[in-house]
Structure 1
Amino acid sequence: MATEIKAPTFPESVADGVVATWHKKPGEACSRDELLVDIETDKVVLEVVAPADGVLKEILKNEDDTVLSAEVIAIFEAGAAASASAPAAESAPAAEVTAAQEEPILSPAARKMADEKGIDHAAIAGTGKGGRVTKEDVVRHAEQKPAPASAVQASSAPQVEATTPVFAGERTEKRVPMTRLRARVAQRLVEAQQTAAMLTTFNEVNMKPVMELRARYKDQFEKRHGVRLGFMSFFVKACAEALRRYPAVNASIDGNDIVYHGYQDIGVAVSSDRGLVVPILRNAENMSLADVEAKIREYGKKAQGGKLDIEDMTGGTFTISNGGVFGSLLSTPILNPPQSAILGMHKIQERPMAVNGQVEILPMMNLALSYDHRLLDGKEAVTFLVTIKELLEDPARILLEL
């Protein structure tokens, strides 16, 4: 029985998608829920799986083709057996057949990296689900790859005179198309800088109180709630309280109108193999520290596995970006339109600080708040950031809403 394979139904915020990778060929047998094709949108990569055991009969949309929401992209026949569409393969040498059967399944990011590095796909050991090769597998293979024989011979050869000309290695270049997600991120960043009157204010926070509280209760917290107590939950709750006090920071501009939101949907920027994504903590003002940590952990796993849904990243009234995990000491984050502000966290570093006339070594973090000056005045932005600083330096105020 022939069945139409359709692209996923995109939400209103996503106009179309692009066929990234077909994992099955026409005439090839498929098991139920086996991955057929990846469709890349400007937010996430969506996977389309087989509806039943059967055969992929015909592909209607090839790789790099643009597809609309719920558009038919292939024909699938349930219950059918794989066709012998390639008789030449049956008569091929056994070694060639074995190699074809052992061709691993690569994720789009892994395939792109392997091609860029010139690595044979069949030589990479996959550790993903069903033996799928991930980007980390490619990186691991590249690090373990032995040096070419020519390089070994060159290192063991006697030294030549200094007058012998030394030729540089091959100067190769490779042009690859920008992924749809990366192109959309680039477009939004440029739009933010071109349309908003963006300004950044800075402050610093003493992280010692939060670190001491975390060290004191982290074991009990994990035992009680099943998740680790991190720093991000304190920042989310501090931002939620500060947004409640300064609703203009939580607002957005829509044409000539200012839209004030009666909820705090805080986005947390996450780096994934396919680019920067910002999943949303909805109604963060009503979430506990444990709720925040559990949701961030869930989003982190989904981001690394490419499983984030479009709904996970739609909306948001404020964003937190943590460049500190990569070692950044100071940055000026770019707004995430149509939001009016974004908070940048940075690396915690011990510094000598003057405390009551005495010099103490304290774990300090720089904070950066970029905001849209069309909507926010300097006073509101600065006092908002100072409020976050005060809440973090006395965490009890977060619980007491002081």
Structure 2
Amino acid sequence: MAEVKVPTLGESITEATVGEWLKAPGEPVALDEAIASLETDKVSVEVNAPVAGVMGQQLVAVGDTVNVGAVIATIEEGAGAAAAPAAAAPAAASAPAAAPAGDVEAAALSPSVRRAVLEHGVDPSTIQGTGKDGRITKEDVVAAAQGKAAPAPAPAAAAPAAAPAGARREERVRMTRLRQTIAARLKEAQNTAAMLTTFNDVDMTAVMEARAKYKDLFEKKHGVRLGFMGFFVKAACQALKDLPAVNASIDGDEIVYHDYADISVAVSAPQGLVVPVIRDAQDMSVATIEKTIGDFGKRAKDGTLKMEEMKGGTFTISNGGVFGSLMSTPIINPPQSAVLGLHRIEERPVVRDGQVVVRPMMYLALSYDHRLIDGREAVTFLVALKNAIEDPTRLLIDL
């Protein structure tokens, strides 16, 4: 019998929460197959089987907090172990039994499948799984969302009783460890920093024209689409070089200045906001920046970002415009001292050379720690960013 232990979760992370069991007692397990999912302060981590055999006892239940190195389950080694029934531990008495083929309601969903379900907004109980033992795969979810697969009829007994007209309902859902950490860090930022936000707007005409002119050549040469974030990251790096206080942090009674720009990019994931870091962005081309951001976004949705990829960072860019935000006051990501908020682009009347014309405009917001950054520096930073975006061709296109 082999013990399954909580793996090392990363520097300074000593505990996690059991998110879900991916294998039920009595189910066959392959070597290195994921049997459980743990939620840490930053990402979900899968626990893999140390040996092949049959799933034995689950020593902890979903929602329990476990420490690194703790034994959370056992596995009966060898193919012959299937003949020996595995008794579930009392803590896991509520764990579901092995699901028969096709029974998608009882089958456990892997983290990637669960994220796909949340992303596409489909009901997993209506999907006919094509995976092993009738389990739902990520492809099944995508196909169901696109209407390519006929949904499996839900058992009649599973249909909930109709609620009376006008009934008021409440549902209590335990906060994930990631959501708890986000809440604590945001409140910490408000309690610690002397936070202030300054605004400006930027005419996106030049960037949009440059993008339209060079996008085909850019994609052909670099193998990635030319977006707006590459322009803003590059422009921010240049502005941070001229205004080092915006790229600095406070450590006790000292100010730490950085001669590099590690840009944190806020990315929305199914379980909450994550902020991976583009390291040494000041040395990157627009193409490399775009590739890095695209990779972060994809892996954030899949839940495969590594914890070390979200550590550090000297400055954050958050793009609420992708969700339609017109204006916001973003909150600083400690111990950083500033965060740039981008917003949606919309046509507005502006005055150019004495004439009222329509231009694609975007509001910019810089929230900063007034203990370190003066208003002059904050405004100068936004003006420098605005100037770079409004004249990007010579400075930002890597062609």
**Shorter-chain-normalised TM-score: which range?**
0.7 to 0.9
Inter-CA distance 169–86: structure 2 relative to 1 (3 Å threshold): farther
Is 1:253 the counterpart of 2:256? The answer is no
Among candidates 355, 361, 365, match of residue 362 of structure 2: 365
Unaligned runs of 5+ in 1: 88-95, 150-166
Secondary structure, in 3 states, of the residue corresponding to 2:291? helix
Q: Which residue of 2 aligns with 1:6?
A: 5
Q: Which residue of 2 aligns with 1:104?
A: 107
- Residue 305 of structure 1 and its aligned partner are, at CA, apart by 0.7
Is 1:124 the counterpart of 2:121? The answer is no
Among candidates 219, 223, 227, match of residue 220 of structure 2: 223
Inter-CA distance 215–75: structure 2 relative to 1 (3 Å threshold): same
- Residue 27 of structure 1 and its aligned partner are, at CA, apart by 2.7
Aligned counterparts, 1:45-60, within 5 A? 45-60=44-59
Distance, in Å, in 1 between the alignment partners of 2:110 and 2:10 is 24
> Rg bigger for which structure?
1
Aligned counterparts, 1:295-310, within 5 A? 295-310=292-307
Q: Which residue of 2 aligns with 1:21?
A: 20
- Residue 107 of structure 1 and its aligned partner are, at CA, apart by 4.5
Inter-CA distance 198–358: structure 2 relative to 1 (3 Å threshold): same
- Counterpart residue type for residue 40 of structure 1: E
Secondary structure, in 3 states, of the residue corresponding to 2:214? helix
- Counterpart residue type for residue 70 of structure 1: G
- Residue 6 of structure 1 and its aligned partner are, at CA, apart by 2.1
Inter-CA distance 376–134: structure 2 relative to 1 (3 Å threshold): farther
Aligned counterparts, 1:1-400, within 5 A? 2-81=1-80, 82-83=82-83, 85=85, 97=100, 100=103, 103-107=106-110, 122-125=125-128, 131-132=136-137, 140=145, 168-396=165-393, 398-399=395-396
Report how many aligned residue pairs link the two structures: 368
Q: Which residue of 2 aligns with 1:163?
A: none
- Counterpart residue type for residue 107 of structure 2: P
Distance, in Å, in 2 between the alignment partners of 1:127 and 1:258 is 57
Secondary structure, in 3 states, of the residue corresponding to 1:365? strand
Distance, in Å, in 2 between the alignment partners of 1:86 and 1:229 is 54
Secondary structure, in 3 states, of the residue corresponding to 1:299? helix
Report if aligned partners of 1:124, 1:138 keep a CA contact under 8 Å in 2: no
Report if aligned partners of 1:126, 1:134 keep a CA contact under 8 Å in 2: no
Report if aligned partners of 1:128, 1:134 keep a CA contact under 8 Å in 2: no
Tell me the C-alpha RMSD between the 2 structures: 3.2
Inter-CA distance 110–28: structure 2 relative to 1 (3 Å threshold): closer
Secondary structure, in 3 states, of the residue corresponding to 1:42? coil
Secondary structure, in 3 states, of the residue corresponding to 1:191? helix
Unaligned runs of 5+ in 2: 88-98, 157-163
Report if aligned partners of 1:241, 1:398 keep a CA contact under 8 Å in 2: no
Moved more, 102-111 or 376-385: 102-111
- Residue 396 of structure 1 and its aligned partner are, at CA, apart by 3.7
Inter-CA distance 101–179: structure 2 relative to 1 (3 Å threshold): closer
Inter-CA distance 128–202: structure 2 relative to 1 (3 Å threshold): farther
Inter-CA distance 250–13: structure 2 relative to 1 (3 Å threshold): farther
- Counterpart residue type for residue 209 of structure 1: A
- Residue 379 of structure 1 and its aligned partner are, at CA, apart by 0.3
Q: Which residue of 1 aligns with 2:159?
A: none
- Residue 125 of structure 1 and its aligned partner are, at CA, apart by 4.3
Report if aligned partners of 1:352, 1:361 keep a CA contact under 8 Å in 2: yes
Moved more, 74-83 or 213-222: 74-83
Distance, in Å, in 2 between the alignment partners of 1:114 and 1:223 is 34
